[in-house]
Amino acid sequence: MIRSKIDMVQATLLTRQGRLAEAMALLQGKAFGASRLATAHSPASDTGDKTVGQQPFLDAVSPSRGSGQSWTIPTGGLEESGTALKAPRGLLDRLRAFNSKDVVDGLLGRAIKPALPQLPDGAKFYDHSFSNGAGTRTYKLYVPSGYTGQPLPLVVMLHGCTQSPDDFAAGTRMNELAEEQKFFVAYPAQTQSANASKCWNWFSASDQRRDQGEPSLIAGITRQIMKSFSVEARRVYIAGLSAGGAAAAVMGAAYPDLYAAIGVHSGLACGAASDMPSAFAAMRTGSPSTISTQGVPTIVFHGDADTTVHPINGDQVAIQGKAGLSLSSTSKSGVAPGGVRYTRKIHFNESGTILLEQWILHDVGHAWSGGSSIGSYTEPRGPDASREMVRFFLEHSIRL
């Protein structure tokens, strides 16, 4: 575990230097000598993200608890000794000198065990699994109290890298909204065997197609819940953060007949990458996609100070969401109760139905807006992305 985390940091440093092939080789377990080891010398970003030395890799190292900032990489380079990195203890000493206990804990892979709110009487948070030819994935399902078999909507939530269903549920507070407004929430879990950092493999060409790879597993989980519980088939939705947001975009494009709307928070458009090098490039500078989401209503959240997934990716998700549609648009600015400024752009058809919403979060990094500091990757001061997504979702349904 320690070795894989150090490799993750090193791959991030290589990526920042544009050495994508070496970063990919390292993450695939291929060694290379000291002469090729990267060091970082970049100053802190002045874009408004207070994260120091943030690198373009999804969710690399844990943020300070409750900071609302993205996961970070220290500015100091990794030391060398002969042909390999020094022992982990030396690296940890350097990180301690950087004065961030949480960064050290994050590097060591400390398990995030959020203090989940006590379930209301009658509510359930089940553990399940689904298997098909592409593999097996576990998932958690929240069933609100008062469910007695009546049809309810379903929201599928895809976590970011290194997160878990419990962590994501705590950070987004989606279960609380499900209890309040009565819908099911499913949290599929990525495995470390499928991705070392538990990222959904949104960048893999084989994981971007209907009924193949991870899309088949996520759709399979969705359909399994629909068979086991009374789900309103016309009102099934999917959302995610970071790698999970990119995977949600994939699911919208691959299954427009299954999901009535999608939510992409700090993610990328479907088809923005086809392998790991192009994924790093897209995260750093964006990448347009010619893939259409076939008119699936889309809501997008992205911080304009995100140094992990460049903000242009939020624009490209929005462009993908309205491709081929004739929409009018308007926008307004506001300030959330916590003080975060935002711009909300809405795009609607001739009948006035909003088919695309884009929320630009000013001076916000790589974090779920309005989330709880109990979970990771959250910016509690921002507008409530979970509540806004649910509001948007429930305005849409599929014509069966």
Say which DSSP state 41 is in. -
Return the H-helix or E-strand segment holding 167: helix 165-172
How far apart are the C-alpha atoms of 289 and 205, rounded to whole Å? 13
Q: What span, in angstroms and rounded, lies between the C-alpha atoms of 197 and 6?
A: 12
pLDDT, position 337: 97
Sequence-distant (6+) residues with CB within 8 A of 316 are 268, 269, 272, 286, 287, 288, 289
DSSP string, 223-244: HHHHHHTTEEEEEEEEEEETHH
Q: Which residues pair with 129 in a beta bridge?
A: 138
CA distance 34 to 377: 33
Residue 131 one-letter amino acid: S
Decide: helix, strand or coil at residue 81. Answer: strand
Q: What is the pLDDT of residue 25?
A: 59
Which residues fall within 8 angstroms of residue 164, CB to CB, at 6 or more apart?
112, 189, 198
Q: Which residues of the chain have pLDDT under 70?
A: 1-117
Contact present, 137 and 129 (Cβ < 8 Å): yes
Residue 179 exposure: Cα atoms within 13 Å on the Cβ side: 15
At 70, is the secondary structure helix, strand, or coil?
coil
Looking at residue 154, what DSSP letter applies? E
pTM tops 0.85, yes or no = no
Q: For residue 359, which of 340, 375, 373, 378 has the smallest C-alpha distance?
A: 340
The rounded distance, in Å, linking the Cα atoms of 58 and 361 is 19
Q: Are 248 and 273 in contact (CB under 8 A)?
A: no
CA dist., res. 392 & res. 136, Å (int): 31
Q: Report the distance separating Cα 346 and Cα 332, nearest Å.
A: 9
- Exposure b/e, 191-225, CB count within 10 A at least 16 = b: eeebbbbbbbbbbbeebbebeebbbbbbbbbbbbb
CA distance readout (Å), 107 to 89, 94, 306, 310: 12, 12, 21, 23
Q: Would you mind telling me the total number of residues written for the chain in this entry?
A: 400
The CATH superfamily label for domain 124-394 reads Alpha/Beta hydrolase fold, catalytic domain (3.40.50.1820)
Q: What is the DSSP string of 9-27?
A: HHHHHHHHTT-HHHHHHHH
For residue 261, the SS3 value is strand
Q: Residue ranges per domain, the chain?
A: 2-107, 124-394
